[in-house]
Each structure stands twice: as C-alpha cells, then as structure tokens.
Chains A and B, each alone.
Chain A
C-alpha cells in the first residue's frame, strides 16, 4: 500500500480523496493555485505545495509543476480526481516514466476511450449495442434516404465537424429528410467550413443511464449498478440517482453485463463508467466511456455501501479485487443534487463571491460532499460546483422526501445557488413519477413552472 499520495486536483474531489487516504493511513500532499490557498483540501492535507497562479494552465493543468511537487514531496502515487488531468493519457504516461503510480486506468485505456469514434468501435466489437448510424459521411440525398430506411425513422442529421446543435436536423420521414439533408449541409459549411454530414438514429426522449465498473488489473471486472443522470442542463448533469426508475433487475443485469464486456474487451483497469442512452422501448445504446472516477460516484457508494476511491487506491497498489459480482448488493435509493454557485432565476449565471452563511443539512440519510464553508471565497477561475448533496432512503419516495427536507435546511448566503432549483425539481410531478427525459429542464422552464 502506498505511504504517500499527491492529489492533483482541487475542491470537493480533492477533499474526497484526502478522506479516503486518511482512512487508509496514507499521507497526503495537496497542490494548489495561489487563489486556492485557503481551500479546505490545502488545510486538511498533511503537506501542501503551491504549484502556480490562478489560471488552470499554470496550475492544475501544469504537468511539470505537479510532477515537480510529487518529486520534492517524495510521493508514490498521484490521484488525478476528475476533470483537469484525469483523462490526460500523456500525463498518465509521464507519471509512469517518473515511477509514480497514476491512480486510474492505463494510458492506453484512456486513449482508446477518449477518441469517441474509436470508443464506439470498441463497443461494437465487444458486441455492445451502439447507436445505429452511417459508417461514414453521407454524400448524397439518395444515400441519406437509403440509410434512413435501414435505421428506421426518426433520424438525426449531424455535422461531422460539428457541435453546439448546429447542423443538426431531426427528420421523421423521407420528404422532410431531403430538404433537411441539403440545408444541414449548407449550415455545416457556414458554421464549420465543412459540409460533411452523417446520419444517426434519433432517440426521442432518451434517458441517460450509466454503469459504474471496477477493474482490478488482474482481469477481474465487476459492475456496481447504474446511475440515472437524465436531469441535465445544456449537457451538464444536475441530478443523479440510483437505481433508475426505468430499470428492473433484468435490464440492470443486461446493461451491467454489456458494460463489463466492453471494459473487459479493452483490458480496462481501475474505476470507469460506461454511458448509455435508453430509449422509451428500453433498448439501450453505448454512447461513451469515462475513464475516471466521476462527480456522481457517491450515489453508487450509498446504494452499494462501497468506498470507490479506496477501491481505486487499492487497485492501483496492485491488490486483487476479492469482490465477486454476486457479492454486490443494491440497497435502497440514492439521489445527488449538484449545488452550483449559479443563479437559477437568471439563466444560471455564475455567482462567485464570499460565503457568509453556510448552514449545512444533517440527519439520517444525508451526506454532504463540499469544500465550501462560512468565510470561503468562491473564486471565478474554476467550475461553479460548490457542494454535492447526497441522500439515501429505503426507496425512491423516501429519498426524495429526505432530499426535500435537507434542501430546506441548506442555507448558503449571500451568493446565489441552485438550491432553489433543486427544491422545485423535488416537488415536480414528472420527477416524482420518475417519468422524464433529457429535455426535462427545458420543459420545466418553458412551462413557467420555475
């Protein structure tokens, strides 16, 4: 087991990792940018090294600085957390060459799944269903019609060089397709300088279901169930829960096995998550794989009773996972609300500033992962998430009740936070019924229910 680990991250995840290390008797080294000097992770680590100025490029993404800090403090391993360098294969390789263990997957794992098209390919090869689509760019409208017929409507035309919703057109029939195909090409040309488009099956009202997996590097991989992360705003997750109201034991087993198969096929090591889109008819499609510990990992921890960060550290230290798939039990229901320093009444505008009042919720079934405290200055340089409120109940209804109660107790002033937004969701009929898809937030604000 390691005797000292450096945490190459900040905020709540740095604190999370420090907690796991402390419980394992491992000494910790925090690295921080100048404005983060009063951060909790700096205060609670055994040693702390300032690695640069505010900008991430100068600090949390500054590989030479971080490796230097690792060398002068003589650590044996680095935990990259999530974001920053967590999925930087180059950084993982540098750690290896400096004889510092990177707590996470191998550089090859990261590279393979980092390339989204190659990842989809890997999933396909492993026999995991992927979103049906054209294999290459679609050049003519005749080709487009042929492909749409194969995949069945509705389909979506996407710009190959695209993003941000531009050059995307949803079509429900041949007539619409022809017109849309030509305009999509023109739009793509105008926006990206490249008229190339491809076609995919369009999943209407999908649910976002991800499966947590753990691989021990000795060929043994298990899945720890799903997390339903459908509640998103502009593709950013806001609320996550497990189990998903859409999954029964049979579907969970099927998706879990698909995820494990996919991970096994690339020899995946350590913690990872496979993301799927779930259609209304319960068919699921591989979307992508995240080769890191994720923000919403506590949801899985509450339901399985496991400590995922400790497992990551043990796996990195070379331990064989004794856990078998049948040993993993799912208990009750967990929900996580990401509390951001944003104003939900003002288009979620970020609100950095000093926290004066910080009254944290407590009581049965409540877990709070946060790096904030009364007197803490939220800086404008990093992401706006300041806390994760995680609740656990016997079932979904109880978890929602606990969440509502906990949100009522959670007072953060004077900065604006998304607590009020979460309270609305916890009373929303569609959410309570468990029937919603990725357009939930859009519709919530459209209807003027906010």
Chain B
C-alpha cells in the first residue's frame, strides 16, 4: 500500500497550497485533487500499470498474470453495485479457478433496490475477477475474465 506516499503528498499539497498533485513512479500513478470547498475529493485515481512487472496495484483478489489472448470478458449488462454472493453471509457464486457454464448465475448487480442475478454468457474457467465485492459498476465494465473451454 502507498499510505506513506499519499500522506507525504497531502502534506506537500497543504504546505504549498496546491489543489491538484499527480505523481508517477515506477509505473504507478497517484493523483490527489481538492474540491472547490478545499476538502479532498473522494475519488483518488490509482492507475495500475499495463506490464506485470510493477507491483499489482489493483489485485485484491490475488490473481495470477492473465494471458489475454485466449480469454472472454464477462461485462456488466447494467449499472449498479456488484456483489459476489446472494447475501453477506453466503459464499460467493463463483471464485477464481471455478469452471462455469453458460446461464450459470455468477454474481448480483443491485440496481434501484433490486437484486439482479447476472448469468454467465461464457463457458470455461474463471481466471480473473476484476471488481471487488460491493463496488459500483457501469454498463460494459469487465467483471470476470474467463478462459473458454
């Protein structure tokens, strides 16, 4: 994690009266921006690099390197909040390494207080899950990466 770097950046900004600061180092880019009221905006950009050599900034699921050549993306068909399981106590519908089939429910997207079961359009092995539980997703956002079989 980059807590120390972010703390340093915040001090730098406050000391020098900056409203926006962006630093790129070793393939990782951090951007901090203050809103009109002077408070820090919630959104902090944290761009993970393309190459696998730099630290995996966005890999909370601990995924292995993904070979993009033989994969299919399962994308969000709607806007909402992504859930891995039907309820907080229940186990996730699907994990990395699982074999899934077409029509199998793999996640939930909550939209306007309705829980929508999302079914897989691909058959194969899940090699990556690109969204965290309870994270907002937009239309077309990649949720799962599947190695078709």
Interface residues of A (CB under 8 A from B): 22, 25, 27, 34, 46-47, 49-53, 59, 64-65, 67-69, 71-73, 98
Contacts and interface: CB of A to CB of B under 8 A. Distances in A.
Contacts of A59: 139
Contacts of A68: 78-80, 111-112
Contacts of B136: 49, 72-73
Nearest to A34: B140
A50 B112 contact: no
Interface in B111-137: 111-112, 136-137
Contact of B37 (A22, A25, A65): A25
A27 B35 contact: yes
Nearest to A65: B79
A234 B36 CA distance: 45
B78 A50 contact: no
A449 B141 CA distance: 52
B138 A69 contact: yes
Interface string B79-120: 111000000000000000000000000000001100000000
14 contacts: A25-B36, A25-B37, A46-B41, A49-B79, A49-B138, A49-B139, A50-B138, A50-B140, A51-B139, A53-B139, A65-B139, A67-B111, A68-B112, A71-B111
Given A25-B36, A71-B112, A50 B80 contact: no
Contacts of B51: none
Given A64-B78, A68-B80, A69-B79, A50 B35 contact: no
Contacts of A27: 35, 41
Contacts of A46: 41, 43
Interface of B: 35-37, 41, 43, 78-81, 111-112, 136-141
A65 B80 CA distance: 8
Contact of A67 (B43, B81, B112): B112
A64 B114 CA distance: 10
A260 to B, nearest CB: 35
A25 B35 CA distance: 8
Residue from B111, B112, B138, B141 having most chain A Cβ neighbours under 10 A:
B138
A34 B77 CA distance: 12
A49 B43 CA distance: 14
A73 B43 CA distance: 11
A98 to B, nearest CB: 7
A70 B62 CA distance: 31
A6 B17 CA distance: 29
* 9 A-B pairs with the lowest CB-CB distances in the bound complex, closest first: A72-B136, A25-B36, A68-B79, A68-B111, A50-B138, A49-B138, A50-B139, A68-B80, A69-B79
Nearest to B33: A46
Contacts of A72: 79-81, 136-137
A65 B140 contact: no
Given A22-B36, A53-B140, 13 more contacts: A25-B36, A27-B35, A47-B43, A49-B79, A50-B79, A50-B138, A65-B78, A65-B79, A65-B111, A65-B139, A68-B78, A72-B80, A73-B136
A98 B37 contact: no
B74 to A, nearest CB: 16
Contacts of B112: 64, 67-68, 71, 98
Contacts of B43: 46-47
A64 B79 CA distance: 8
A69 B137 CA distance: 9
A263 to B, nearest CB: 33
Nearest to A52: B139
Contacts of B78: 64-65, 68
Contacts of B111: 64-65, 67-68, 71
B102 to A, nearest CB: 21
Nearest to B111: A68
A130 to B, nearest CB: 41
A313 to B, nearest CB: 14
A28 to B, nearest CB: 11
A22 B36 CA distance: 8
Nearest to B79: A68
A200 to B, nearest CB: 44
Contacts of B81: 72
B141 A50 contact: yes
A395 B43 CA distance: 48
A51 B41 contact: no
B45 to A, nearest CB: 11
A51 B111 CA distance: 12
Residue from A47, A68, A71, A98 having most chain B Cβ neighbours under 10 A:
A68
Residue from B137, B139, B141 having most chain A Cβ neighbours under 10 A:
B139
B19 to A, nearest CB: 13
Contacts of B137: 72
